[in-house]
Amino acid sequence: MKLYFTKSRWEWSRKPLVEFFDQVAAEGYDGVELYVPDLPESPEEIRGMLEARNLLLVAQIVTVGSTPQEHLDSLRERFELAAATRPLMVNSHTGRDIFSFEENLKIFAEACRLAEEADLPFAHETHRGRPTYNAVDTRKYLEALPDLKLTGDFSHWFCVHESDLQDQPENVQSAIQRVIHLHARVGFPEGPQVSNPLSAASKPDLERSVDLWERVIKYRQAQGAEFLTITPEFGPQPYMPLHPDTGKPLADAWETNARFHSYLRERWAGV
């Protein structure tokens, strides 16, 4: 199974797309994770720039609106846009935590239908503010929809549950079996991001996160998957903690992701 490391544009969202692609290619990533709805470039232009640099694409979307129907409508529209870029897969923030189970289930069911129709892997991020914001409710959606796939960002669950998740192994295992894309950010029980994942102070949180990611890798290998995409995803402020006196970020998010990319690539070189 191939591991593809992709780079989010989170830190460079205001810089020209071509500069971002050039920097990602120069730093040895396999591809990019790109939020496509806000881009002025057409799907064809995006595809051309990526192919010129031999970069893969994880196309990211979010569903929006004040009602479940508006989220459903935006899902259809934005998935179609993402599919037009011919990505390796699509990652989505889907639904809302304030909608009912039945309302979100309808949105997820439509997402599964779209993925099957397009023959395109489609993952839904475990994220605060979404129906998948916690492990307990996520398991209910997974049980209701056998085809539902996840982007595993366990850092959110650390924060939501105020734990390292070892107290709910069944819920975590149910998620691991559906993850097809990873957001490799180290969280801790009081927040979704440590400032330096490779520091001595962060070692227990790092080890717990890596254990979960490696369980995903082993499960995907056992299932005969061709690849797994991984985005080191340490964010800039307000995700990055700030110095209490200067108000400046404690670390540069781009450099943190670069170091973590190197760490994971070396650790998993034999996979």
Strand spans (E) along the chain:
2-8, 31-35, 56-62, 89-93, 122-125, 149-152, 179-184, 227-232
Return the SS3 of 238.
coil
Both structure tokens of 136: 């307990």
Q: How far apart are CA 104 and CA 209, in angstroms?
A: 28
Q: What is the pLDDT of residue 110?
A: 98
Q: What count of other Cβ atoms lies within 10 Å of the Cβ of residue 50? A: 22
- Mean of pLDDT over the chain: 97
> In the prediction, which pLDDT does 270 show?
83
Q: Is the pLDDT of residue 14 over 90?
A: no
Q: What is the CA radius of gyration of the chain?
A: 18
Cβ-in-10-Å burial (0-12, 13-18, 19+) of 61 comes to: buried
Which amino acid is residue 54, in one-letter code? N
Q: What is the pLDDT of residue 249?
A: 93
Do residues 232 and 193 make contact, with C-beta atoms less than 8 angstroms apart?
no
List, for residues 217-267, the tens digit of each pLDDT value.
Answer: 999 999 999 999 999 999 999 999 889 999 999 999 999 999 999 999 999
Is the pTM higher than 0.85? The answer reads yes
Task: Give pLDDT tens digits for 63-108.
Answer: 999 999 999 999 999 999 999 999 999 999 999 999 999 999 999 9
- Please tell me the predicted confidence (pLDDT) of residue 235: 96
Selection from 30, 48, 122, 32 nearest residue 85 by Cα? 48
Number of domains within the chain: 1
Q: Which structural domain range is residue 142 located in?
A: 2-267
Q: State residue 116's pLDDT score.
A: 98
* Per-residue three-class SS string for 18-87: HHHHHHHHHCCCCEEEEECCCCCCCHHHHHHHHHHCCCEEEEEEECCCCCHHHHHHHHHHHHHHHHHCCC
The CATH number covering residue 88 comes to 3.20.20.150
User: In the 8-state DSSP scheme, what is residue 271?
Assistant: -
Q: Which residue has the tokens 């993952």?
A: 123
- Report the share of the chain in percent with pLDDT over 90: 97
Extract the tokens encoding 122: 């489609």
